[in-house]
Amino acid sequence: MAETKLIQWSDDYSVGVSILDEQHKSIIRMVNKIHAYITSGASSEEISEILNQMTQYAMNHFRTEEDYMKLFEYPEFELHRKEHMEYWKKTALFANEAMSGNKEVLGDILSFLIDWWMDHILRTDLRYKEFFQEKGLG
Ligand SMILES: [Fe+2]
């Protein structure tokens, strides 16, 4: 794998709420860091450590989104929350596998993280953009 930045945040990813955009930018930075760790041959401990950090950060981010959704009674809340839960389950499994020293799973983890976040932000998160903007969030 080449030492390139895999994801570059751009305005296309903006969900119109600055705190959520900032969190998404941090998440993208973490995905890129995981990529760098994997390509530089970091140890299983180091990789599972950063994966755990990222999971914690993501859970905190999901809570921020979900709190706004509950506050404004976002109609697609349940559906959206389900995706967050799926992510959590999947990354918990991956962190275990990485911890067990299974190097083969690392490429899968990276692809999953990139695909999931790109799809989730662009397809699922952007669905609340207009709704939150109408509620005056910015
Ligand atoms: Fe989300």
What is the C-alpha separation between 82 and 1, in angstroms, rounded?
32
pLDDT at 1: 47
Query: CB atoms < 10 A from the CB of 87, how many?
Result: 19
pLDDT at 41: 86
Q: What is the pLDDT of residues 7-31, one digit of tens each?
A: 889 999 999 999 999 999 999 999 9
CA of 48 to the centre of ligand 1 (A): 23
What is the C-alpha separation between 103 and 44, in angstroms, rounded?
8
Q: Is residue 1 part of a domain?
A: no
Sequence letter at residue 118: M
CA of 113 to the centre of ligand 1 (A): 14
pLDDT band at 113 (very low <50, low <70, confident <90, very high): very high
CA of 64 to the centre of ligand 1 (A): 9
Q: Is residue 10 part of a domain?
A: no
pLDDT band at 72 (very low <50, low <70, confident <90, very high): very high
Q: Is residue 2 part of a domain?
A: no
When divided into structural domains, the chain yields a total of 1
pLDDT at 44 over 90: no
Handedness of CA 16, 53, 103, 91 (dihedral sign): negative
Q: Is residue 81 part of a domain?
A: yes
Q: Which residue segment(s) compose the domain that 122 sits in?
A: 16-134
> Which CATH number goes with the domain that contains 80?
1.20.120.50
CA of 21 to the centre of ligand 1 (A): 11
